[in-house]
């Protein structure tokens, strides 16, 4: 069985790849610039007796995604699980944001999911089975000041998920999203220690989530019954 995981070089994607590998999945691990960071994952999975195939690709660029998919198709691998996790954030007032910055957020966080699904879904439909999990954010549910583009991209991921689930349920393919609150990754490194403490004060669970628990939750959602589909599951320690 193969799980294709985007944004697997670090953070939530790396933990998710490790979780799937621990359950016997082979992994196709995709990142953008830090392809060398995938080497320890490849070695770890090889030691466990599995395979991990690393690829670098700018998923915001449809030409790169379709070239990537050509390379994967040549391997004659069936993708059982697709985890669309790669994403970036942008902090700042909307009026200070350039058109290019806006397009970069939308293309990286939302259009990339369209490109990956377009590539992977035909094989899943042929086999009449598959699981897709899109990684979203609580800001896609409720919106965040100074993160308008990010919130819009994740709101798009939520609606994309619900609509695609309806298209694919007759083919026994589940499509769900996980809307995370704050998970302790590089994405939150910009926070000062004071900002971090005040954020944590607002989280009823009293802490940020860990990447390991995020990976386990994604694995559970992806591998449970396909009757769970079209859902945006919020995982935020009771925050939003």
Q: In this chain, which stretch among 19-27, 41-49, 80-88, 113-121 interacts with ligand NAP, using CB under 6 A?
A: 80-88
Instruction: List the one residue from 86, 110, 132, 175 that touches ligand NAP (CB under 6 A).
Output: 86
Alpha-helix runs per DSSP H in the chain: 11-22, 39-47, 62-73, 99-106, 112-127, 138-142, 148-168, 193-202, 211-223
Contact string 92-131 vs ligand NAP (x = CB under 6 A): ----------------x-----------------------
Touching ligand NAP, residues 53-72 (CB under 6 A): 57-60
> Which pair of tokens denotes residue 161?
């998920």
> What token pair was written down for 165?
């689930």
User: Is 34 near ligand NAP (CB under 6 A)?
Assistant: yes
Residues in a beta bridge with 232? 177
- Kindly tell me which residue out of 2, 3, 4, 7 binds ligand NAP, with binding defined by CB under 6 A: 7
Closest to 148 measured CA to CA, from 87, 188, 97: 97
Binding segment for ligand NAP among 52-60, 69-77, 163-171, 215-223 (CB under 6 A)? Answer: 52-60
Three-state DSSP class for 133? strand
The residue among 168 and 217 lying less far from ligand NAP, judged by its C-beta, is 217
Cα–Cα distance, 103 to 196 (Å, whole number):
28
- The interface region with ligand NAP, picked from 18-26, 73-81, 183-191, 217-225 by CB under 6 A, is 183-191
N residues, the chain: 240
Least CB distance from residue 33 to ligand NAP, whole Å? 4
Residue 156 neighbours by CB distance under 10 Å: 18
**Cβ atoms < 10 Å from Cβ of 128:** 10
Q: Which of 151, 161, 174, 182 binds ligand NAP (CB under 6 A)?
A: 182
Are 68 and 55 in contact, with CB atoms under 8 Å apart? yes
Say whether 115 is catalytic: no
Are 180 and 134 within 8 A, CB to CB? no
Does residue 87 interact with ligand NAP by CB under 6 A?
yes
47 is an interface residue for ligand NAP by CB under 6 A: no
Binding site for ligand NAP (CB under 6 A): 6-13, 31-34, 57-60, 85-88, 108, 135, 137, 180, 182-183, 185-188
Residues tagged active-site: 150
């Amino acid at each position: 069985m193969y799980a294709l995981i985007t944004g697997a070089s670090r953070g939530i994607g790396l933990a998710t790849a490790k979780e799937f590998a621990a359950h016997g999945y082979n992994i196709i691990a995709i990142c953008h610039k830090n392809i060398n960071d995938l080497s320890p994952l490849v070695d770890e999975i090889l030691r466990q007796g599995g395979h991990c195939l690393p690829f670098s690709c700018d998923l915001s660029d449809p030409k790169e995604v379709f070239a990537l998919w050509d390379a994967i198709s040549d391997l004659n691998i069936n993708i059982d699980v697709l985890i669309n996790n790669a994403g970036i954030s942008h902090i700042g007032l909307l009026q200070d944001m350039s058109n290019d910055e806006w397009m970069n957020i939308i293309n990286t966080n939302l259009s990339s999911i369209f490109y990956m699904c377009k590539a992977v879904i035909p094989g899943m439909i042929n086999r009449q089975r598959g699981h897709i999990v899109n990684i979203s954010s609580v800001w896609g549910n409720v919106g965040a000041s100074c993160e308008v583009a990010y919130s819009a991209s994740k709101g798009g991921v939520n609606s994309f998920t619900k609509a695609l689930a309806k298209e694919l349920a007759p083919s026994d393919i589940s499509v769900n999203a996980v809307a995370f609150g704050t998970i302790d990754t590089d994405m939150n490194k910009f926070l000062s220690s004071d900002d971090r403490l005040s954020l944590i004060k607002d989280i009823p669970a009293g802490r940020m989530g860990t990447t390991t628990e995020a990976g386990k939750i994604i694995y559970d959602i992806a591998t449970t019954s396909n009757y769970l589909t079209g859902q945006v599951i919020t995982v935020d320690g009771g925050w939003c």
